[in-house]
Amino acid sequence: MPQLQLPIFAAGVTEINSRIAVQKEAGTVCYVHGLLPVFQHDEADVQSFRMFTSQMIAGGTVKPKEIVRTFGVPMITVKRYVKLYRECGVKGFYEAKPRHSSASVLKGEVLEQAQRMLNEGRSLPEVAAELGVLRNTLLKAVRAGRLRGGQKKTSARPAR
């Protein structure tokens, strides 16, 4: 029959719950179970903090709300990293994630067609509808200097 461990913690620790506490000393964060250290990381090592707290949540040792209360991090952040831990494990926190930029829709012939249509004096919404691209895509291309034109048409208002 398993014995019940009393919640005994050393002085100067912050309890996460009755089983786990955290102690910060000399730039190192140490997580303790009773009087035994179970994990430690540098105070500035955010990746290790996220990994270990997510591991404790996934293992049922602590609850997300206890991490939120103890460390003052947003609940959505805690949930995001628990999801990452469950999907990728520990390596998800330490592998370099390649940055993806979306492929440009306006390339080659499509870009040339869009420029021709804008040169004819057509509006961005008209060009976007005909080419099957989003108006916002054309607007970004104009702002980036890949397309010229696309100014808003001014209506002729009578002078007052």
Q: Which of 81-85, 109-113, 150-154 has the lowest mean pLDDT?
A: 150-154
**pLDDT value, residue 41:** 95
Q: Are 110 and 120 in contact (CB under 8 A)?
A: no
Give the span between the Cα atoms of 20 and 18, in whole angstroms. 6
Q: What is the pTM of this model?
A: 0.57
Instruction: Give the residue, 73 or 141, on which the prediction is more confident.
Output: 73
Tally of residues, the chain = 160
Q: How far apart are the first and last CA of the chain?
A: 93
Range ranked top by mean pLDDT from 18-32, 55-69, 96-110: 55-69
Arithmetic mean of pLDDT, 61-84: 95
Confidence of residue 153 (pLDDT cuts 50, 70, 90): low
